[in-house]
Structure 1
């Protein structure tokens, strides 16, 4: 499978959503959907690393699948609000590089 830039991911999601009359959900609905997806991720993490095993016969799922769902809804959210995720990500990484430059113990090379 080919790797994609965030711009390409945003374009692919936009092309997918654009084929439906309903289009993007409103921001509050997308936030609710994102919360739902994060809950599903939490459930999978709890099954694998927590004290709550899956019920017998419960459908198989993966953390990777739930993270993919979160990427999809975050992309929908950004697209609906006209946010460039590459720019947003770059700005956030710069914030972390500056703010947390000396916060953590570096691995010596």
Structure 2
């Protein structure tokens, strides 16, 4: 696997799943248990929520929050979600495409004339 910084090209969902698995197998040694990763995912979503609430909501930043990067927090959520997918045999690409299809069929007219969104 070439260096991550040198790669700097878009990564597909299957490539991301492969990259995380390779990292876990070679650097991380093993996956944490599924329940531990679920707890970590919850923690990471909380960190993302904290930055969102301070950036786009009504909360003020604390000194400890000032250096936080929104994209980095989102990537942390994605990382743990990919770990969970890898551990449980979920093909995220396939699952995402199914979800898009479901939402498209279900919601094709739902938001078109919603005055609350305009």
Alignment TM-score > 0.5, same fold: yes
Counterpart in the other structure of 2:84:
77
Aligned pairs (5 A) from 1:31-70: 31-56=38-63, 58-70=65-77
In the TM superposition, what is the alpha-carbon distance from 1:59 to its structure 2 partner?
4.8
In the TM superposition, what is the alpha-carbon distance from 1:101 to its structure 2 partner?
1.1
Change (3 A) 1:105 1:82: same
Task: Give the match's secondary structure for 2:89.
Answer: coil
RMSD between aligned alpha carbons? 1.5
TM-score, normalised via structure 1 length:
0.89
Task: Give the match's secondary structure for 2:19.
Answer: helix
> Going by fraction, where is helix more abundant, 1 or 2?
2
How many residues end up aligned between the 2 structures? Answer: 105
Unmatched 5+ stretches in structure 1: none
- Which digits, 9 at most, give the CA deviation of each residue in 1:18-64, with x for residues without a partner? 1233x111111111111000000010011112222222354511211
Question: Are 2:44 and 2:77, in contact at CA under 8 Å, matched by a contact in 1?
Answer: yes
In the TM superposition, what is the alpha-carbon distance from 1:76 to its structure 2 partner?
0.5
Aligned pairs (5 A) from 1:83-102: 83-102=90-109
Change (3 A) 1:57 1:11: closer
Q: Runs of 4+ in structure 1 displaced over 6 angstroms?
A: none
User: With CA pairs under 8 Å and 6+ residues apart, which has the higher RCO, 1 or 2?
Assistant: 1
Unmatched 5+ stretches in structure 2: 1-7, 114-118
